[in-house]
Amino acid sequence: MATDATPNASSESALPALELKGLSKSFGGLHAVRGVTFKLMPGDRKAIIGPNGAGKTTLFNLITGIFPSSSGQVLLYGRDVTAWSSHRRTALGMARTFQVTHLFPKLTVLDNVLLAIKGLRPSKYVMWRFMSSYPDVYEKAHGLLERAQFMDRKDTEVRFLSHGEQRQLEIVLGLASDPKILLLDEPAAGLSSGESVEMSEFLQGLDPKLAILLIEHDMDVVFDVASNISVLHFGEMLESGPAEQIRQSAKVREIYLGTE
């Protein structure tokens, strides 16, 4: 049994967790994303950088199925999910956070996490039992909140949290479904420098088997978290490579890093 499982597991790990093939999206005449081809292996830590309006968030929306793509393919573990709706892609182990905080503002911190945990469980359709009758879900939520040091605020409505706390909770919600692929859309947006150091430490401490794709403007966070960087410019993948190579690339400096 174990010997059978090993080749299977290795063949699965040889499959990219996420693969994009010639992915494009146009809004009318605007080509927001053009022919992006990209691979994310299990456990990879990659970042996409690029100036504002380069199409980074649009790319995330295509990957997660919020927008339909104009052409090209999205593959999750070798399965073509291009025509799938968001919730089905999530069920394959993908999670994301949003650049602009997308929490449930009038629900408590605990309720936010409970909903996130329930998302991939069939019991989310149960309507004849109280939510509170699922101790395992509560235990898991408490575990997640303890790890993120939110236990003391678990009964606070999310709209009363500070911006930094909400950014952190975004990631807790992303992790609640035990994803294998995590897409982070500017997790450090609007954070103070101290807070973004904390954020990148938190991200570095995540399970090494988790594949992370990061969009970020804070280059310190990018270089801390990602080993591999791709540059998106006017919707096109300009250059990809190890972090050091991108840091030294003249072209990248010119369009992006040089502007700092």
Q: What is the binding site for another protein (CB under 8 A)?
A: 64, 66, 85-87, 90-91, 95-96, 98, 102-107, 111, 114-116, 118-120, 123-132, 134, 154-155, 173, 176-177
CB of 147 to another protein, least distance (A): 19
CA proximity to 37, closest of 72, 76, 12: 72
By beta-carbon proximity to another protein, the closer residue of 142 and 247 is 142
By beta-carbon proximity to another protein, the closer residue of 182 and 231 is 182
Distance CA 55, CA 61 (A): 10
By beta-carbon proximity to another protein, the closer residue of 149 and 204 is 149
In terms of DSSP bridges, do strands 71-76 and 79-80 run parallel, antiparallel, or are they unpaired? Answer: antiparallel
SS3 131: helix
CB burial of 140-161 (b: ≥16 within 10 Å; e: otherwise) equals: bbeebbeebebeebbeeebeeb
Environment class of residue 66 by beta-carbon count within 10 Å: exposed (0-12), middle (13-18) or buried (19+)? middle
CA proximity to 18, closest of 136, 167, 181, 132: 181
By beta-carbon proximity to another protein, the closer residue of 186 and 224 is 186
CB of 95 to another protein, least distance (A): 7
CB of 172 to another protein, least distance (A): 12
By beta-carbon proximity to another protein, the closer residue of 116 and 229 is 116
CB of 92 to another protein, least distance (A): 10
CB of 115 to another protein, least distance (A): 5
By beta-carbon proximity to another protein, the closer residue of 10 and 133 is 133
SS3 223: helix
CB of 26 to another protein, least distance (A): 22
Those residues whose C-beta lies under 8 Å from the C-beta of residue 91, and which sit 6 or more positions away, are: 120
Environment class of residue 241 by beta-carbon count within 10 Å: exposed (0-12), middle (13-18) or buried (19+)? middle
CB of 111 to another protein, least distance (A): 7
**Cα separations (Å) of 140 from 106, 111, 177, 187?**
22, 12, 10, 23
By beta-carbon proximity to another protein, the closer residue of 127 and 250 is 127
Residue 173 near residue 182 (C-beta atoms within 8 A): no
